[in-house]
Amino acid sequence: MSQQPQYKRAILKISGESFCVPGGFGVQRERLDRIAAEIAEVAALGVQVGVVCGGGNFLRGVNSADELGIDRATADYMGMLGTVLNALALKDALERLGQPARIHSALAIARVGLPFERHRCIDHLEQGRVAILAAGTGNPHVTTDSCAAIRGIELKADVLLKGTKVDGVYDADPATSPHAKLFTHVTYDQVIDGRLRVMDIAATELCQQYRLPVVVFNLFRQGTLRQVILGEPVGTRMDDAK
């Protein structure tokens, strides 16, 4: 297998739970450092990396609106701030490893990051800096999955990488179905028509429209991000190939 990266520019979508143990809260040092090391490793290969952070380790808007009795839009904005907390932690962790990074936030928070602007973000990617894309799209009622698809298209990425806690896309939930089948490849239509649990349908349709391939893989297995970047058969690839 070639040791040359198969992608020049990649958008990595990581969930908030990547920053802590399953069911945990906040950011835990061990998880943070491991994720940062994985990202720094592929950036050292010359790959331009943008990272979209989720914020579920602090708050999920869809759940918190009902739990707290607040408007869904308000809860979504609170969730966006959770992604900024993760972005700040990830930036510092990367820079401790010697990997330059910049936060590009869809919500203007001048003290902690740059406002997202496509051309400036591309400049930072081309200069070898990891672009950490925080605060989703800056709009309520839009998931960070859709944000990752939009940013992937805007920034002309070669691939959208979705790091999860499972090995890829299955025909059933592997946590409850011991005989669940892992797909090595799926089409956009299979995901949309079969309601397969990859990402939300709006994000999938965007990727299909702009032919942005997606690779779903287990970010919790050490070294898998590098394997995906090198084109090794890891996880599930989603595209329009039959």
Angle of CA points 76, 77, 80, to nearest 5°: 90
Would the pLDDT of 108 be above 60?
yes
Q: Between helices 72-96 and 61-68, what is the axis angle to 10°?
A: 130
Question: Region 26-38: what's the mean pLDDT?
Answer: 96
β pairing state of 130-134 and 114-115: unpaired
The per-residue b/e assignment along 26-57, b for 16 or more CB within 10 angstroms, e otherwise, is ebeeebbebbbbbbbbbbeeebbbbbbbbbbb
62 has pLDDT over 80: no
Under the banding of pLDDT at 50, 70 and 90, the label for residue 92 is very high
Q: What average pLDDT score do residues 74-78 get?
A: 93
Mean pLDDT of 4-15: 97
pLDDT band at 195 (very low <50, low <70, confident <90, very high): confident
Average confidence (pLDDT) over 1-21: 90
Give the Cα separation of 161 and 127 in Å (integer): 21
pLDDT tens readout for residues 114-148: 999 999 999 999 999 999 999 999 999 999 999 99
% of the chain at pLDDT higher than 90: 83
| Mean pLDDT in residue range 60-86 | 90
Q: Residue 17 has what DSSP assignment?
A: G
Task: Answer yes or no: are the C-beta atoms of 47 and 8 closer than 8 Å.
Answer: yes
pLDDT reading at 14 higher than 70: yes
Per-residue confidence at 2, pLDDT binned at 50, 70, 90? Answer: low
Q: Which fold has domain 9-235?
A: Carbamate kinase (3.40.1160)
**What does the domain layout of the chain look like in residue ranges?**
9-235
Residue 98 banded pLDDT, cuts 50, 70, 90: very high
Counts of helices then strands in the chain (DSSP H, E): 8, 11
Q: 200 — alpha (psi -120 to 50), left (phi > 0) or beta? A: beta
- Tell me the average pLDDT of the chain: 94
Cβ 106 vs Cβ 138: under 8 Å: yes
Residue 65 confidence (pLDDT): 85
Confidence grade of residue 191 (pLDDT, cut at 50, 70, 90): very high
Mean pLDDT of 187-201: 90
